[in-house]
C-alpha cells in the first residue's frame, strides 16, 4: 500500500501541472463516476492547491470544491506528457486532468470523491486522522502522544503505528523501519513504551520519508535503504542477527524486526 511519502511524491509531481491552472479537460472514464458530472461541475475552475495528509491527496478547486483520493492497495497517481504512453491501461484510469501539456491520471482509485471544502473539514474519516507524519514545518507531537495514550495500552506499538487515527501516513514499511531505527520491538505493549521512545520512531522515519518523497522519478523505485522491511532471515545491519518476520494486528500485516537489538 502506498504510504505517506509515495502520496507526497505524487503531489509534488502533480503540483506544477495543475496548481494555478484551469484544466483544459477533465475526464472520468470509470462507469462508477459517469453520473457524477464532475467535468461539468469543475469546468472553468482553477486548481488552487494540491496537498496531502498522510495517505490522502486533495485537489482543491476555486469555489470550494475538493477532489479527495485515497489509493488503498491498488491505486496510483501518474503524470504523463500529453500523448505519451500511460503506465497502466487507459481502461484503468478513473480520473484524467489535462493541463500545461500533461495528463494527470488516477488509476484504480477505490476512494475518489468530489466534496465541498466544508464537508472535507467535518468528514468523520478525515477529521479523525492523526497528525501527518510528514507535516511541515513540524510534526504535532502533542496530538500524536494524546492519541497514542487514548489507545488500548496492551496493543503492540507496531500495530498502533499503522492506525491512521494515531499518526497519518505511516504504513507497513515505515512502521518496521521506524521501530528498527528507535530500537523498539514492534511487539512491545504501548504501556511499556515511553513518550520519548514513541517520538523516536517518528523522528527516525520523518527525514527518510521526506527524502523518499523528494526523490525524482528517475531515481529508481526504492529511493531509500531498507534495514529490516522485507529482509527476513538476512543479517541486521546493526548487529547481524537474522531479521525476523511475523503477522501482527487484526489485519495480520507482516512485521519485520531484529530480535537482537530491538527490545
Q: Which residues form the interface with Zn ion (CB under 5 A)?
A: 236, 238-239, 241, 258, 260-261
Burial profile 19-58: b = 16 or more Cβ within 10 angstroms, e = fewer: beeebeebbbebeebeeeebeeebeebbbbebebbbbbbb
Going by C-alpha positions, the residue among 56, 255, 57, 55 that lies closest to residue 160 is: 255
Q: Which residue is nearest to Zn ion (CB)?
A: 236
**Catalytic residue from among 3, 19, 106, 177:** 3
Assess whether 3 carries a catalytic annotation: yes
Provide the H-helix boundaries in the chain. 4-18, 38-42, 117-122, 124-127, 141-150, 157-161, 172-181, 195-214
Name which of 135 and 244 has its Cβ closer to Zn ion: 244
- CB 76, min distance to Zn ion, A: 34
- CB 3, min distance to Zn ion, A: 23
CA atoms within 13 A on the CB side of 80: 18
Name which of 130 and 181 has its Cβ closer to Zn ion: 181
Distances (CA, A) of 209 to 109, 116, 125, 163, 188: 23, 30, 23, 18, 24
Name which of 45 and 238 has its Cβ closer to Zn ion: 238
**Catalytic residue from among 2, 23, 131, 186:** 2
- CB 252, min distance to Zn ion, A: 24
Classified as helix, coil or strand, 197 is helix
- CB 245, min distance to Zn ion, A: 14
Backbone angles phi, psi at 178, to 5 degrees: -65, -45
H-helix or E-strand spanning residue 111? strand 111-116
- CB 208, min distance to Zn ion, A: 18
Name which of 199 and 261 has its Cβ closer to Zn ion: 261
Assess whether 150 carries a catalytic annotation: no
**Catalytic residue from among 55, 92, 147, 175:** 55
Name which of 67 and 236 has its Cβ closer to Zn ion: 236
**Catalytic residue from among 15, 119, 210, 253:** 253
Catalytic residues: 2-3, 55, 253
Amino acid at each position: 500500500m502506498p504510504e505517506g511519502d509515495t502520496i507526497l511524491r505524487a503531489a509534488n509531481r502533480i503540483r506544477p501541472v495543475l496548481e494555478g491552472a484551469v484544466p483544459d479537460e477533465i475526464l472520468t472514464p470509470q462507469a462508477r463516476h459517469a453520473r457524477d458530472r464532475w467535468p461539468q461541475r469543475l469546468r472553468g475552475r482553477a486548481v488552487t492547491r494540491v496537498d496531502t495528509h498522510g495517505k490522502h491527496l486533495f485537489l482543491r478547486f476555486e469555489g470550494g470544491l475538493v477532489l479527495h483520493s485515497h489509493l488503498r492497495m491498488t491505486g496510483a497517481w501518474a503524470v504523463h506528457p500529453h500523448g505519451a504512453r500511460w503506465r497502466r491501461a487507459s481502461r484503468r484510469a478513473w480520473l484524467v486532468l489535462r493541463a500545461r501539456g500533461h495528463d494527470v491520471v488516477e488509476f484504480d482509485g477505490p476512494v475518489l470523491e468530489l466534496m465541498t471544502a466544508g464537508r472535507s473539514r467535518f468528514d468523520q474519516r478525515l477529521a479523525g486522522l492523526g497528525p501527518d507524519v510528514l507535516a511541515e514545518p513540524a510534526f504535532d507531537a502533542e496530538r500524536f502522544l494524546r492519541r497514542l495514550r487514548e489507545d488500548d495500552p496492551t496493543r503492540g506499538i507496531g500495530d498502533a503505528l499503522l492506525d491512521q487515527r494515531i499518526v497519518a501516513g505511516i504504513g507497513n514499511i515505515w512502521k518496521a523501519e521506524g521501530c528498527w531505527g528507535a530500537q523498539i520491538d514492534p511487539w512491545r505493549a504501548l504501556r511499556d513504551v515511553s513518550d520519548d521512545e514513541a517520538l523516536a520512531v517518528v523522528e527516525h522515519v520523518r527525514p527518510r520519508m521526506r527524502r523518499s518523497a523528494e526523490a525524482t522519478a528517475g531515481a529508481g523505485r526504492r529511493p531509500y535503504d531498507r534495514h529490516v522491511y522485507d529482509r527476513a532471515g538476512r543479517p541486521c545491519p546493526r548487529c547481524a542477527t537474522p531479521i525476523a518476520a511475523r503477522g501482527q494486528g487484526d489485519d495480520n500485516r507482516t512485521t519485520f524486526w531484529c530480535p537482537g537489538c530491538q527490545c
